[in-house]
């Protein structure tokens, strides 16, 4: 019998595209790089640590003009330093709401 090790509800789409994020309650934008997306979450790298439980507004900015940008409200599940990359943090976030 075939067993799947990854039992996620949504498949992950590996990407490498810029994003703009704003911490809830703030107005300052920060840059990030989205590493993967799914129907339930997003994984991104940025230059600052963000406390788990924080909510962010994110706008994913695809490199191709054929694909529209995506705006969403996400909740940070975990934030860890990127191994071997100085000054970068990996944020795993859960999608809370896709915005228009």
Domain parsing of the chain, residue ranges? 13-99
The pTM for the full model equals 0.83
CATH class of 13-99: mainly beta
Contact 24, 15 (CB under 8 A): no
- 36-61 pLDDT, tens digit per residue, is 998 889 999 999 999 999 999 999 99
Question: Can you give 61-74 as a three-state secondary structure string?
Answer: CCCCCCCCCEEEEE
Q: Are 58 and 43 in contact (CB under 8 A)?
A: no
Burial 17-30 (b: 16+ CB within 10 A, else e): bebebebeeeeeee
Give the CA angle between residues 33, 89, 30 to the nearest 5°: 50
């Amino acid at each position: 019998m075939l067993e799947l090790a990854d039992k996620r509800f949504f498949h992950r789409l590996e990407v490498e595209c810029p994003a703009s994020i704003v911490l809830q309650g703030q107005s300052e934008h920060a840059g990030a790089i989205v590493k993967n997306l799914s129907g339930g979450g997003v994984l991104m790298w940025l230059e600052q640590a963000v406390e788990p439980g924080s909510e962010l507004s994110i706008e994913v900015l695809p490199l191709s003009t054929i694909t529209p940008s995506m705006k969403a409200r996400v909740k940070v599940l975990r934030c860890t330093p990127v191994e071997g990359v100085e000054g970068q943090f990996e944020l795993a976030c859960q999608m809370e709401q896709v915005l228009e």
